[in-house]
Structure 1
């Protein structure tokens, strides 16, 4: 496989000069690539379908073709001269490197001009009548990118809240008022197709096996835990959220359910600017400063953001375990106070090496300091007789720091033809400790316990990609990639008697370590073809080889056990087909295969007994799961209403899932671990809409649901493994409205609910959230002041989870007292002259399963 990867890299570098000169470079006599100048009439006729019988004259048409979004010339687009009555081509040409085109020697008659290029919407002109000696200068003709904006009725010129593009759904988070001052999980709750629980764990169409990228790049903190990463990313920095349900072969094969790409606000300002974002609320406060400087070829941006939270929570637990013939029942109540503190700092530099070459570099440093103080009271009963009562005061500390560094180079030959080299280094240091005071019934200190667990997740990535159009209706993409990943964990338990600070190693919980190394080599090819009758086909395949070396032991310097985890190779195809029907209706169908590799927290063998009745431990021998996905979607616009409806099916083999087992050493305790359970089948559908009631009032919402079947093995009442299965239906929905008032006032309301979700051994409970917000623009729209409230009625949000198997039964209730009222403030200082966005490329590692499986 190493040879294959080297050959792909070598072939890319060797092909580029020859392809650029032979296929796309200007011919000796000048003129545009492809030979459509005066030097090669034969190829021009071959391309346009013209013959030597084409009528000639002395009339002439000339013009300039530009991009509607950037204003830049559209190079080498096709210009066809059509008979106005029959629609058949009469003549044709292509635009040059400056977007100009000329059609000389035209016979008198009535014609239409057709402008087309891959990636753009084909446009036809009104009838043009030519007489003898006519010299017609059309001036500038604008060509729009091939994408659909859902809220086309919004005549105020503001971007729609939801957009649908060729391969993804885009949620414009900067139009959302109520999430300001929150984090990324608050934003994702508003995105169609997504569901986010109280802990911030994300699922797409019922699957938590997804990949989350930030600015098209992975991060090791996301690999460690998606929920933790979302809490670290402030909502105010998010520009858009892209949901890709059927990724092409260009994306890594990871993410069975799909890919979520969070795009942060990128500054395209020219000059010197400073943005201030601040907020204060009864549950959290935030402060952010972001500055940028751009002059000529150089752009620099520097930013910092901090967020503090203070929130109460409570939980209750009722569980029964069966050891032999004696049932043990546990009743627990707990109160907690969360005090998380997050920080994020970024530095970005981009430089234009030449007109068609650019270099970008970014450094991101993030910190997470999550402290939770929890009081636990637990009663244990055997055959309804009280066995004991324990009190614990637990201080949990989840601390991390993350560094992401990437350097990217892009060379553009012409529109849609480009070569990129991307590199990235990412490292997360994660500390997952807890300190527990063991108390008597009268709250006297009788002992202490500590769990010290340090983890490191490190990735180095090299990637190269090349894409080129073939004629005017085809696109070829291919590339190669290598990811070197290293995961390590050191853990130990310490105990002390009474109030002593002299800790010794706990003999009942031995120390240990994990060294896990992964090498992924991949190559892909993807082909897009657009037919004359408005079919679009995008097919491709990706080959990935994964090599694994894993060791466990008492220390990293003296490993004692090598885990027998075999290498594996996978060929993952993808097919996407779309058809434009009458009006603005589009029908799409897709199939792909995806891989799901286990994540850091699923691999980590540390026994986390912060709650001794509900212990968690990872499984370093987990194998990847394979998923086949299929979907069918229909979207249409009916006057002011946009509707998108889809159905999907998903079949997963070797599925990674949470499994609960009774503890062998502690009466009434349950151990949660991860296993490859077997089979998971899901079928479902979703529908969402967006309607502009007036030019300044819009409403959007949606409903989604799915049916899931799970099958796996678990210990039976006699201790032997038995096959169990579970089925269930889950339904969720959301509704949002936005209203623009006069004098800079804006109002927004949002509501969300999710029904129970089936699991192998039970179901996760339902939940809901709602919020309202108002914002006033000030200082000629340089700043704004806002007020928002969420879950302001009642006592916060509650989620009830039930588990059932031959050996255990559990009911847990989690309550989050998250009624919140917050004030937000933003202000912008500096020169506000905008530039077109620069073309960028970056690494995408889409190959790690999140730390939670909900």
Structure 2
């Protein structure tokens, strides 16, 4: 079947090669008429002169550019429109043998202005925009993220949820791939969550959600891709911004964005500093009736963490020629974390009588740094739509931690002793590196389509070195404990190549088909005093993708898509050595894990009107060799969690997203997601299934005097897990923003989790245990943020390639703009 598919791709390319009847094209760019800023994802429609039926059209890219191909020679009019702007018409456009390619240059649109007695509202880019393969959310329209960090942003995005430890989920599925500026993030697991928690919201321009990516993208992630696009000012001259935040219970943040742009280069520096302390608490109640002592364990935890982080992000763009750009950027993220944790244990016998108690205290110091260097090369050929993109990147993540544990035991009705019965020091180092090479090529072909192809190489190494010192009785000194010392390294190399074909079928239909091939090599090297064994798992996979779209004349579209994806086990999941931070709950990986294989399909409908848009989708996923963390109780009474491949899982759901303006002063969006999941039985696992749903809503209220109020809320109903159920979760956030000095400055007061309801409860059950786990992290926080945009950039002058029509292009001598 795959060979037939490859033949189909090859034949598609051959079909595009023969000469076609003479046709021309129209290109240009959309910009606002105030500062000349580009208007991305605007609609450009082309009509034959004197006709009302749509002949062809295009959607503008991120720089406002558009290209309408394969137009027969003749006379045309062009209609441009975008949400928040007045539409505009360009007439008198003529294509002929002497002018087959016509460049209309900048087509400027005026923002829509609504006036009433009490309030004046100027149209602006909407919070949500729909592109052919993704949904886009503008962070400038999100006061609820002012003074916050990436999780505060992502928590407000429809379809996304953020867990207590920063884990992401899309449509209820936690297997999500994270991209930064269009490239896969080198970080995984807890390292990724730590990075997001330190990425200032002020440095994020927009969030893109791709639920069914094409073969061009890395196939990692069951649910899809979340792409964070960081800010870069594209206006000429020197400009920038400053943000200062103070929050309740000792939380502070400062950040600045500086940008300098000339016709030959652009330099951007984004810097942020953060200090905060945050408390948390939790309880665990675990019944294990098959164990005589203890048959029941109660645990209470109090946690206080302090964090100090810097985020430094410089980027230099060199415009080597009108069609070539070389970009060099880096992210430097040093941080220090101090933690104080206290755990109290009650151990009960079968009669539920307490026979022993314990207290364990932990003092932690963790120092880490992320260094990510990227080099990008972008070439746009003279042929319209033809481009070449190359990227080389190298990232390192280092984390060194020292945990000091002390523990005391005592019997019932006895005061705890002054001196600890046990002391332990854990020194842990977790270095990792990722090197990536990418090359993408796009070649347009007749019929309004294109061919995309490319290859990539990624090499990742992970390391973990545990060193313990233990004192088991008093008096004495701490000595190295070689019985539990471990070192583990894991290497992964991925070689990939892809091919995509896309085109149009008549005026309304468009299609895309692609195939990606990957060869993966892995090597794990565990080391202890007793063993130096290694393990490998090498595999080859093919990842097809396809979509078919129907566009109606009334700004409605229907899209059917399919993709095959993969979820690879991360470093923690294959590390065979247990962690000993909690002596009664051990976690270890499984070197025998194999990747999940995912088949994902979706049918979506999108409609856009004058007041907003509606998106509805039904989707399904079939997963084999699903990777899940499972728990069991050992004969000693200690709980152990590890990772297993369950045979298969199936999930299906429907999602509805409404976005629009209800009145001149009230706008917002609402999302409803209902999904069903079923897990088949496996080793030590029973079948599990259930129905779950979640709802999100966000409202914007624009008041007189440049005042804006934003309210958002989310509720997640109980959802099934492989070994139990997650109880309902819900919260409400509120923000008030007041703008000053012609909107150059703003003061924002926001309160997260207004009613202090954000907590997590899990009901778990498995071989030999029933457990209730509760976690609560400080979430009710008041933030006060001052932001200011400075500099006076001149009206943007486009790079020569965007104004130069190129060889053989037409001119606008006969064109008139209404």
Interval of TM-score (by shorter of Structure 1 and Structure 2): 0.7 to 0.9
Q: Relative to structure 1, is the Cα distance of residues 765 and 230 closer, same or farther in structure 2, using a 3 angstrom cutoff?
A: farther
In structure 2, the residue matched to 1:623 is 594
In structure 2, the residue matched to 1:37 is none
In structure 2, the residue matched to 1:514 is 488
Query: Is 1:183 aligned to 2:149, yes or no?
Result: yes
Per the alignment, in what secondary structure is the counterpart of residue 713 of structure 1?
A: coil
Query: Is 1:288 aligned to 2:262, yes or no?
Result: no
In structure 2, the residue matched to 1:720 is none
Which of 242, 248, 251 is 1:276 aligned to?
Answer: 242
Which of 821, 829, 832 is 2:782 aligned to?
Answer: 821
In structure 2, the residue matched to 1:230 is 196
In structure 2, the residue matched to 1:562 is 534
Per the alignment, in what secondary structure is the counterpart of residue 269 of structure 1?
A: coil
Query: Is 1:459 aligned to 2:431, yes or no?
Result: no
Which of 375, 378, 384 is 1:407 aligned to?
Answer: 375
Per the alignment, in what secondary structure is the counterpart of residue 236 of structure 2?
A: strand
Q: Relative to structure 1, is the Cα distance of residues 440 and 290 closer, same or farther in structure 2, using a 3 angstrom cutoff?
A: same
Q: Name the CA distance, whole Å, in 2 between partners of 1:463 and 1:477.
A: 13
Q: Name the CA distance, whole Å, in 2 between partners of 1:73 and 1:692.
A: 20
Q: Name the CA distance, whole Å, in 1 between partners of 2:734 and 2:776.
A: 21
In structure 2, the residue matched to 1:113 is 76
TM-score of the aligned structures, taking structure 1 as reference length: 0.80
Q: Relative to structure 1, is the Cα distance of residues 139 and 225 closer, same or farther in structure 2, using a 3 angstrom cutoff?
A: closer
Which of 322, 331, 340 is 1:364 aligned to?
Answer: 331
Aligned pairs for 1:521-560 (under 5 A) are 521-554=495-528, 560=532
Q: Relative to structure 1, is the Cα distance of residues 631 and 72 closer, same or farther in structure 2, using a 3 angstrom cutoff?
A: closer
Q: Which runs of 5+ in 1 are unaligned?
A: 1-18, 25-33, 35-41, 49-62, 90-97, 118-122, 716-722, 841-854
Query: Is 1:485 aligned to 2:460, yes or no?
Result: yes
Deviation at 1:505, TM superposition (A): 2.8
What are the Cα deviations for residues 285-323 of structure 1, in whole angstroms up to 9, with x where unaligned?
A: 211122222233122222321112222211111002244
Q: Relative to structure 1, is the Cα distance of residues 664 and 511 closer, same or farther in structure 2, using a 3 angstrom cutoff?
A: farther
Q: Name the CA distance, whole Å, in 2 between partners of 1:670 and 1:831.
A: 62
In structure 1, the residue matched to 2:393 is 424
TM-score of the aligned structures, taking structure 2 as reference length: 0.83
Q: Name the CA distance, whole Å, in 2 between partners of 1:725 and 1:644.
A: 33
Q: Name the CA distance, whole Å, in 2 between partners of 1:71 and 1:290.
A: 18
Q: Name the CA distance, whole Å, in 1 between partners of 2:779 and 2:568.
A: 34
In structure 2, the residue matched to 1:701 is 670
Q: Relative to structure 1, is the Cα distance of residues 316 and 277 closer, same or farther in structure 2, using a 3 angstrom cutoff?
A: same
Per the alignment, in what secondary structure is the counterpart of residue 156 of structure 2?
A: coil
Q: Name the CA distance, whole Å, in 2 between partners of 1:380 and 1:484.
A: 47
Deviation at 1:609, TM superposition (A): 2.8
In structure 1, the residue matched to 2:575 is 604
Q: Name the CA distance, whole Å, in 2 between partners of 1:453 and 1:838.
A: 50
Cα pair 1:65 1:73 within 8 Å, conserved? no
Which of 807, 811, 815 is 2:772 aligned to?
Answer: 811
What are the Cα deviations for residues 349-379 of structure 1, in whole angstroms up to 9, with x where unaligned?
A: 1101111111000011112333331111101
Q: Relative to structure 1, is the Cα distance of residues 443 and 745 closer, same or farther in structure 2, using a 3 angstrom cutoff?
A: farther
Cα pair 1:210 1:257 within 8 Å, conserved? yes
Which of 753, 756, 762 is 2:718 aligned to?
Answer: 756
In structure 2, the residue matched to 1:211 is 177
In structure 2, the residue matched to 1:745 is 707
RMSD: 3.7
Number of aligned residue pairs: 739
Q: Name the CA distance, whole Å, in 2 between partners of 1:209 and 1:84.
A: 52
Deviation at 1:783, TM superposition (A): 1.4
Which of 658, 664, 682 is 1:713 aligned to?
Answer: 682
In structure 2, the residue matched to 1:632 is 603
Q: Name the CA distance, whole Å, in 2 between partners of 1:86 and 1:190.
A: 40
Q: Relative to structure 1, is the Cα distance of residues 829 and 638 closer, same or farther in structure 2, using a 3 angstrom cutoff?
A: closer
Cα pair 1:525 1:540 within 8 Å, conserved? yes
Per the alignment, in what secondary structure is the counterpart of residue 181 of structure 1?
A: coil
Cα pair 1:222 1:229 within 8 Å, conserved? no
Q: Relative to structure 1, is the Cα distance of residues 788 and 302 closer, same or farther in structure 2, using a 3 angstrom cutoff?
A: same
Cα pair 1:796 1:815 within 8 Å, conserved? no
Q: Name the CA distance, whole Å, in 2 between partners of 1:636 and 1:88.
A: 17
Deviation at 1:163, TM superposition (A): 1.1
Deviation at 1:492, TM superposition (A): 2.6
Per the alignment, in what secondary structure is the counterpart of residue 515 of structure 1?
A: strand
Q: Which runs of 5+ in 2 are unaligned?
A: 1-12, 56-64, 81-86, 115-119, 411-415, 802-818
Query: Is 1:161 aligned to 2:132, yes or no?
Result: no
Q: Name the CA distance, whole Å, in 2 between partners of 1:616 and 1:454.
A: 17
Question: Which segment is superposed worse, 576-585 or 63-72?
Answer: 63-72
Cα pair 1:65 1:143 within 8 Å, conserved? no
Query: Is 1:770 aligned to 2:732, yes or no?
Result: yes
Cα pair 2:188 2:570 within 8 Å, conserved? no
Query: Is 1:312 aligned to 2:279, yes or no?
Result: yes
Q: Name the CA distance, whole Å, in 1 between partners of 2:728 and 2:449.
A: 47
Cα pair 2:293 2:348 within 8 Å, conserved? no
